[in-house]
């Protein structure tokens, strides 16, 4: 690990001021950043420890939604009564990630900012990684790419976003509140993370001087008709090969609203809007589910080692929809 | 070790002062089962730790009240005195910002019960309790722990008396080589509080139903999945947890 300077922020204003220096990074749970610093993938010159800032509350919003402080730990969010009762999809996704120890450390803000687990990114022994060293190439595209993207990738990068939480937040139409010296702005989950394009070094649309202060959720629309299905190489403590967050609203026997978001398949949580459109207006029949699953993976471009993900994603979408629809 | 700061701070530079482990060693890695040679090796490791990492700490390892630090800058690569509260004792260690809690415990304080496995958050050997919650000390910066209450495997028992979980691991063969055991124990102790709090897990059937948590074997395995045991003592570990749940 490279040497760095450490400061502890005593107020949000202090943290925002510290971030005006572009070589400064926020330290919250540290589960991803410290790991990457150990591998010299990240080498910030200064860390501002934000763990003591008053951003660790979950509060009901006036509109019936939820305001989740950026420093709420993953375990606390998953077990918050309002989340378990009203946003079970979010609890499920959080509990599917990492280990109890890591969930006790990891924060909402850090989870949003976590970086890909592409082996060619996390190991500096590989020279070619456009995400780590812009312009150096992509070792994964011609390398061992079993865990990589099947949707939305670019010639420059085939990495996937590793988060479970973000997949659920996207299905719940969440938004992220950001603060900088210039003021406060809100970005939807859908536009928070980026596709790689020609600048895969940028994971998100957050500027380096912005502090994540909260995640905002609108009132829940799907009740208990939700499912988070995670498929991985072992049944615990592993990243998703494919995951699906599904939510369905049914009135008078017909689907009136749906969300289908996939994890592990793209550079960001992948909202399958074509699948959602297929579902709305019809009963949740086996045929409708099959059509939605086909639509979810339409246009997939598998690499040499990850063609299995296309069929896996198709079946995972179908199963998640069946699970969500089976709830009374 | 009852007086870890003694190891770090006294009898240097020889560093050969014998460790007198008052927390039974079964809890710290089954050293009771070791031969004399094994015990000697362990003492050597403790002494070496004090030599390699404890020198800077020697001057600072005191029970003095911790100074508050605010947003004081360290300066790149500089060391700074950092106050740590470990097992209900207060220490001040001089460390760089990049020193993890794991390294501060082992190298600066001589508390070598906490083990370094992968050092990258993938195995759980380094698990300790911070303010009663289990965390990976390998991914925690020591400097960020000022003001926190840290408990390591050395602090689980009460003096000579083993913690019920430590005794249950011995009774149920919850270890073989013992290297992952301190992390397993800290994790298991925290797990019990999580069950009492009604926390859910990935295998909890009805997530919306709050109240006391289900304690099926599937639940216990999922809740211990952050601690890898290369010897494969998982059956004994689940049995140990079961015994503590059933009999306290």
- Confidence check: pLDDT of B240 > 80: yes
Within 8 A of B222 by CB-CB distance, chain A residues are: 236
DSSP string, A214-272: EEEEPPPSSTT-EEEEEE-SSSSSS--SEEEEEEEEEETTEEEEEEEEEESSSSS-EE-
The C-alpha of B28 sits at a distance from chain A's nearest C-alpha, in angstroms, of 20
Within 8 A of B194 by CB-CB distance, chain A residues are: 100
pLDDT at position B40: 46
Measured CA to CA, the distance from residue A170 to residue A184 in angstroms comes to: 21
The C-alpha of B74 sits at a distance from chain A's nearest C-alpha, in angstroms, of 6
Percent of chain B with pLDDT over 90: 65
Percent of chain A as helix, strand, coil, to the nearest 5: 30, 25, 45
Nearest CB among B97, B187, B200 relative to A47 is that of: B97
Q: What is the ipTM of this complex?
A: 0.97
Phi, psi of A28 (to 5 degrees): -115, -105
Within 8 A of B115 by CB-CB distance, chain A residues are: none
What pLDDT, in 10s, does the model give residues B140-182? 999 999 999 999 999 999 989 999 999 999 999 999 999 999 9
DSSP E strands, chain A: 5-8, 24-27, 46-49, 58-60, 66-69, 175-180, 183-188, 211-217, 226-231, 242-251, 254-263, 270-271
What pLDDT, in 10s, does the model give residues B82-119? 999 999 999 999 999 999 999 999 999 999 999 999 99
Provide the 10 A C-beta neighbour count for residue A137: 16
Please, what is the average pLDDT of chain B?
79
Q: Please answer yes or no on whether A1 and B201 come within 8 Å at the CB atom.
A: no
- Confidence check: pLDDT of B41 > 90: no
A236 and B CB contact within 8 Å: yes
Measured CA to CA, the distance from residue B191 to residue B197 in angstroms comes to: 10
Closest by CA to A31, choosing from A95, A106, A111, is A106
Within 8 A of A26 by CB-CB distance, chain B residues are: none
The dihedral built from the CA positions of residue A260, A261, A262 and A263, taken in this order, carries a sign that is negative
Closest by CA to A87, choosing from A190, A169, A189, is A169
DSSP label at residue B141: B
The residue of chain B nearest to residue A95, with distances taken between CA atoms, is: B202
CA B51 distance to own-chain centroid = 21
A237 and B CB contact within 8 Å: yes
pLDDT at position B60: 40
What pLDDT, in 10s, does the model give residues B49-61? 443 343 334 334 4
Given a cut of 70, the residues of chain A with pLDDT beneath it are 328
What pLDDT, in 10s, does the model give residues B191-213? 999 999 999 999 999 999 888 88
Nearest CB among B71, B98, B207 relative to A14 is that of: B71
The C-alpha of B221 sits at a distance from chain A's nearest C-alpha, in angstroms, of 9
- Confidence check: pLDDT of B64 > 90: no
Measured CA to CA, the distance from residue B206 to residue B208 in angstroms comes to: 6
CA B232 distance to own-chain centroid = 20
Q: Please answer yes or no on whether A37 and B141 come within 8 Å at the CB atom.
A: no
- Of the CA atoms within 13 Å of residue A133, those in its CB half-sphere come to 15
The structural domains of chain A, ordered by start, are 226-326 (3.30.390.50)
pLDDT at position B214: 80
Closest by CA to A116, choosing from A98, A101, A131, is A131
Measured CA to CA, the distance from residue A310 to residue A296 in angstroms comes to: 10
Nearest CB among B135, B200, B227 relative to A79 is that of: B200
- Measure the N-to-C terminal CA separation of chain B; round to a whole number of Å: 25
Within 8 A of A245 by CB-CB distance, chain B residues are: none
A67 and B CB contact within 8 Å: no
The residue of chain B nearest to residue A15, with distances taken between CA atoms, is: B71
Which pTM does this prediction carry? 0.89
């Amino acid at each position: 690990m490279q040497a760095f300077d450490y400061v502890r922020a005593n107020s949000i204003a202090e943290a925002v001021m510290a971030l005006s220096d572009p070589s400064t990074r926020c330290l919250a749970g540290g589960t991803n950043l410290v790991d990457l610093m150990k591998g010299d993938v990240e080498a910030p010159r200064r860390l501002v420890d934000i763990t003591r800032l008053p951003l660790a509350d979950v509060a009901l919003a006036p509109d019936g939604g939820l305001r989740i402080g950026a420093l709420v730990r993953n375990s606390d969010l998953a077990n918050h009564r309002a989340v378990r009762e009203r946003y079970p999809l979010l609890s499920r996704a959080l509990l599917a990630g990492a280990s109890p120890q890591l969930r006790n450390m990891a924060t909402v803000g850090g989870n949003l900012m976590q970086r890909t687990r592409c082996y060619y990114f996390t190991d500096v022994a590989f020279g070619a990684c456009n995400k780590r060293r812009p312009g150096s190439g992509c070792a994964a595209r011609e390398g061992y790419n079993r865990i990589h993207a099947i949707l939305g990738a670019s010639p420059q990068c085939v990495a996937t976003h590793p988060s479970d939480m973000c997949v659920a937040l996207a299905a719940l139409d969440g938004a992220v509140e950001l603060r900088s010296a210039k003021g406060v702005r809100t970005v939807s989950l859908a536009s928070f993370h980026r596709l790689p394009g020609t600048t895969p070094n940028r994971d998100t649309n957050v500027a380096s001087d912005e502090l994540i202060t909260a995640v905002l959720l609108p009132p829940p629309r799907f009740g208990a008709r939700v499912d988070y299905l995670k498929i991985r190489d072992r049944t615990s403590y592993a990243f998703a090969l494919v995951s699906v967050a599904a939510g369905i609203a049914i009135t008078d026997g017909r689907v009136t609203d749906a969300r289908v978001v996939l994890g592990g398949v793209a550079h960001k949580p992948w909202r399958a809007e074509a699948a959602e459109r297929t579902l709305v207006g019809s009963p949740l029949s086996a045929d409708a589910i099959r059509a939605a699953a086909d639509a979810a993976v339409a246009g997939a471009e598998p690499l040499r080692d990850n063609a299995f993900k296309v069929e896996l994603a198709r079946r995972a979408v179908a199963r998640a929809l069946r699970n969500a629809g089976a709830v009374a | 070790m009852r007086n870890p700061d003694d190891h770090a701070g006294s009898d240097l530079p020889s560093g050969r002062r014998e460790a007198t482990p008052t927390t039974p060693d079964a809890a710290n890695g089954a050293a009771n089962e070791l031969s004399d040679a094994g015990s000697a090796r362990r003492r050597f490791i403790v002494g070496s730790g004090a030599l390699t990492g404890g020198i800077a700490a020697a001057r600072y390892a005191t029970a003095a009240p911790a100074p508050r630090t605010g947003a004081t800058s360290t300066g790149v690569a500089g060391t700074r005195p950092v106050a740590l509260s470990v097992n209900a004792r207060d220490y001040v260690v001089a460390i760089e910002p990049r020193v993890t809690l794991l390294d501060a415990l082992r190298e600066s304080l001589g508390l070598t019960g906490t083990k370094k496995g992968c050092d990258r958050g993938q195995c759980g050997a380094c698990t300790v309790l911070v303010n009663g919650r289990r965390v990976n000390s390998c991914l925690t910066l020591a400097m960020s722990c000022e003001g926190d209450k840290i408990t390591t495997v050395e602090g689980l028992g009460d003096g000579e008396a083993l913690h019920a979980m430590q005794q249950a691991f011995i009774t149920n063969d919850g270890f073989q080589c013992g290297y992952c055991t301190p992390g397993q124990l800290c994790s298991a102790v925290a797990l019990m509080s999580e069950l009492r709090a009604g926390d859910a897990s990935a295998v909890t059937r009805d997530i919306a139903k709050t109240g006391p948590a289900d304690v099926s074997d599937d639940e216990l395995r999922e809740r211990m999945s952050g601690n890898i045991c290369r010897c494969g003592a998982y059956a004994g570990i689940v049995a140990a947890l079961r015994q503590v749940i059933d009999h306290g």
